[in-house]
Amino acid sequence: MKILFATGNDKKYQLMKERLKDFRDIEVLMPKDLDIKINVEENGTTAEENAILKVKAYYEKTKMPVIAEDSGLWVEKFSEENQPGLFVKRVKGKEGLSNEKILAHYISCLESVGGESLARYKTGVALIDKKGNLHSITIEEEPFLLTTKKSTKGYLDGGILDIISFDINSKKYFNELSEDERRKRYELIDKKIKEMIEKIHFEL
């Protein structure tokens, strides 16, 4: 059985394939495998709503099972107006800023609340099965520490905040994590997505 993962990001695609590898009868496809591309207006107020918008658009186009995800960042000590939410790379409504300007914004906000704060990503996952039934969940990921103290190492694959994001369990910055340690941070998401698939496996 085939399921379409509504993303154009190869790295996210590989992660999803890894998550679903135990379901040997499921083949995960990308839109480019079907030679389709849809510009979905992600105007939801939560990550789950945005994931739902994506699966609905791709299901309408393909009529095949579709899965999608979206995520946002919430910082415990930030005021409402400074919460990144679904727009981690947007600063006061401005997009396309350099890594340095985005990082400077977060550091400035952290300095105003004492130099550090617990934070967490929330990931929304949505799936439409072959009968057109919608399933969706929000997963609150493991908390980590955002800090003004930077890692001495550089960025990882566009992970702008990795050098100020500190993993509490391993006591390492995100950009210093080994591949195994990085995968460990995804364990909760892996588990929840697998549970979703298991419940509706025969509807795919």
Encode 8-19: b = buried (16+ Cβ within 10 Å), e = exposed: eeeeebebbeeb
Could you count the other beta carbons within 10 Å of the beta carbon of residue 171?
A: 9
Report the Cα 185 to chain-centroid distance in Å.
12
* Cα–Cα distance measured from residue 20 to residue 69, given in angstroms and rounded to the nearest whole number: 14
Burial of 172 (0-12, 13-18, 19+ CB in 10 A): middle
- Which helix (H) or strand (E) segment holds residue 172: the answer is strand 172-173
Candidate list 70, 129, 162, 167, residue with the active-site label: 70
Annotated active-site residue 157? The verdict is no
- Cα distances (angstroms) measured from residue 54 to each of 5, 61, 70, 162, 186: 10, 11, 9, 27, 22
Residue 26: closest CA among 130, 173, 133, 175: 130
- Cα distances (angstroms) measured from residue 179 to each of 9, 124, 126, 142: 18, 23, 26, 17
Would you please indicate which residues are annotated as catalytic (active-site) residues?
70
